Structure 1
Amino acid sequence: MADAAKTDGFYSNLSCGALGVSPGFPAAVDLAVEFGFGAVDPDVGYLAGQSPAEVEQLRARLAEQGVRWGNAGVPVNINADAATFATQLAGLEEFAARLAALGVDRAGTWIRPMSDSLTYRRNFARHVERIGLVDEILAAAGVRFGLEYVGPKTFWSTERYPFVHTLAETRELLAAIGSSNVGVILDTFHWFTSAESADDIRTLTADQIVAVDLNDAPTGRERDEQIDGQRLLPGASGVIDVAAFVAALRDIGYAGPIKVEPFNAELRSLPAHEAVARTAESLKAVL
């Protein structure tokens, strides 16, 4: 068994969806156990279709293997039109209750870093209001809410009004929201493309980080030429100083899930077992 799980306080998290492979949730659980991951992202839709006894049997198996839940996605689009947002928000209480029943205590979404119609200030105000509404429901269910900023200039510069795309701006957004239940999802790729340092991470406290993604970047491109959908497994190229990033997490005592989300065509083309094996080895090397 490869051991991807044993770290300082944080733990490796398998997300087959983030790797671009789809073995099915039962197989994903088997892979997490086989390769020593400390967590697996829950498939809430799949689990909703199982009987209470089947869910408890699965949870018992995970507990026996020392595997916990990673973080779930939030089924609410912060950027949707008002009617769509209201409809999605209305269904969130049931979703949050399902997470709580499963024992999932972290969920997140990403911040779209630009708009063709909303200025920065107008978009900021809307995000504060909408994130606050989502958080109120998640917090009541005991679920932490993570926000991931997106750093590549090749993405945030493609529409008329750039929006939040750095850690500093995300912290300003969190401060305006004013909820200790809302934190940041850190990703090495966005940290790198935003020209941030390990010391920027050290300005955070451990409880301000909800989840972490580790990735590397292709060679042969300047920082501002990196493309969000083209990444590498952590440590693959050395373009991103993953070691410094992880060291900063250790320094502040982060103790949550760490997963890989490389958006890598080569990895997606592999059988799920081999893709997960490579991911486990990459995490073992950098953690």
Structure 2
Amino acid sequence: MFANLSAGALGLPLDHPTAIDLAVRHDFGGVDPDPTYFAGLGSVQAVSEHAAAVRERGLSWGIAGLPVPLDGPAETFRAALVDLPATLELLRAAGVTALGTWVRPMHEELRYRENWRLHLSRLSVVAELLADAGLRLGLEYIGPKTFWSTERFPFIHSLREARELIAESGASNVGVILDSYHWYTAGESAEDLAGLTDADIVSVDINDARTDRSRDEQQDLDRRLPFDTGVIDLDGFTAAVREAGYTGPVKVEPFMPSLAKEPVDDVLADVSHRLARAISA
């Protein structure tokens, strides 16, 4: 595992070169790739050279966001597929190995099995395109009941469901994004992570939760920094991830607007320390 700087996940408005400099300064092992920045470099060769320079500074890549909405309108999905190969070419040139997206855990119109069939068909198409480019895809399930209960038909909001969808897709390059916050709000334990391997996990997020809310009252976009409150058993979570033999990026995604108001070096020094504690525990 390595500590990954994801400026966007921290709510910090950093451009790509600045994020790289700060990741090095604060002893992160990786940084998120930026496909928009890659496209602005003008050529695949320039992207490869940029990636080599990043590696020379001791950094690996985190994961890129999947620019294809698995639950969007059909025309939006088709249009995104048209643009996807160009993005994949840049990511491959940079040496990025994975993309990720989250699964919207409810729908106002589609019942569970209808939504399942929609995701299954689209996941199969996207996974095949990524496989052809040598890339993996991570799916993140969303755990808070305060979110998945807001529309008529709840959908995937647990690890078991996410793994069942992946298994039914038959795609060997698709795994899960594990977030301690979703793991906790889904009512899961370390036992639910037993049996996972590095091949099953694409990326990991660690966060804590508020003390003044029960598990079912927690809000998806109102979290706490890891080890802040102790509400989430991060020691048990990270121990299970290590037991799985996971080797990829670990980031913090607390959705705390206050972080952007603090000195960026202070924020990143703190986050780096928390990640180091989680990874080395």
Query: What is the TM-score with the length of structure 1 in the denominator?
Result: 0.94
1:268 paired with 2:255, answer: no
Letter in 1 for 2:162: T
- How far apart are the structure 2 equivalents of 1:86 and 1:62? 33
Structure 2, unpaired ranges of 5+: none
State the alpha-carbon separation in 1 of the partners of residues 25 and 19 from structure 2: 10
The within-5 A match list for 1:96-115 is: 96-115=88-107
Q: Do 1:73 and 1:107's aligned partners in 2 also have CA atoms closer than 8 Å?
A: yes
Instruction: Give the C-alpha shift of residue 132 in structure 1.
Output: 0.8
Task: Give, in angstroms, the shift of residue 56 of structure 1.
Answer: 4.5
Match of 1:7 in 2: none
Which deviations, in whole Å up to 9, do the C-alpha atoms of 1:72-99 show, x marking residues without a partner? Answer: 0010111111111111111111111111
1:256 corresponds to: 248
Asked if 1:148 corresponds to 2:140, the answer is yes
Deviation of 1:160 after TM superposition, in Å, equals 0.1
Provide the C-alpha distance between the structure 2 equivalents of 1:286 and 1:78, rounded to a whole number of angstroms: 32
Q: 1: distance between equivalents of 2:258 and 2:273?
A: 16
Q: What amino acid is the match of 1:123? A: N
**Aligned partner of 2:162 among 170, 178, 186:** 170
Distance in 2 (CA, whole Å) between partners of 1:29 and 1:105 is 18
Distance in 1 (alpha carbons) for counterparts of 2:118 and 2:66: 17
Worse-superposed segment, 164-173 or 56-65: 56-65
* Deviation of 1:233 (Å): 1.2
Matched-pair contact (CA < 8 Å) for 1:19–1:275: no
1:137 matched to 2:129? The reply is yes
Per mean C-alpha deviation after superposition, the further-off stretch among 265-274 and 33-42 is: 265-274
What is the match of residue 174 of structure 2? Answer: 182
Given the alignment, which residue of 31, 48, 61 partners 1:40? Answer: 31
Structure 1: tracts of 5 or more residues without a match? 1-9
Give the one of 4, 28, 33 matched to 1:13: 4
Match of 1:31 in 2: 22
The structure-2 alpha-carbon separation of the partners of 1:125 and 1:70, relative to structure 1 and needing over 3 Å to count, comes to: same
Structure 1 ranges of 4+ moved more than 6 A: none
The residue type equivalent to 1:35 in the other structure is H
For the pair 1:71 / 2:70, whether they are aligned, the reply is no
Find out whether 1:285 has 2:277 as its counterpart: yes
TM-score (norm 2): 0.96
Write the distance in 2 (CA, Å) between the matches of 1:196 and 1:184: 15
For residue 218 of structure 1, report the CA deviation from its aligned partner.
Answer: 1.0
Aligned residues: 278
Give the alignment partner of residue 80 of structure 1, picking from 69, 72, 79.
72
- The question of whether the paired residues in 1 share the 8 Å contact of 2:5 and 2:32 is answered with yes
Rounded to whole Å, the distance in 2 between the matches of 1:281 and 1:58 is 27
Does structure 1 retain, via aligned residues, the 8 Å contact 2:51–2:95?
Answer: no
Matched, 1:231 2:212: no
- Paired position in structure 2 for 1:5: none
What is the aligned partner in structure 1 of residue 87 from structure 2? 95
Given that 1:22 and 1:272 are in contact with CA atoms closer than 8 Å, whether structure 2 keeps it comes out as no
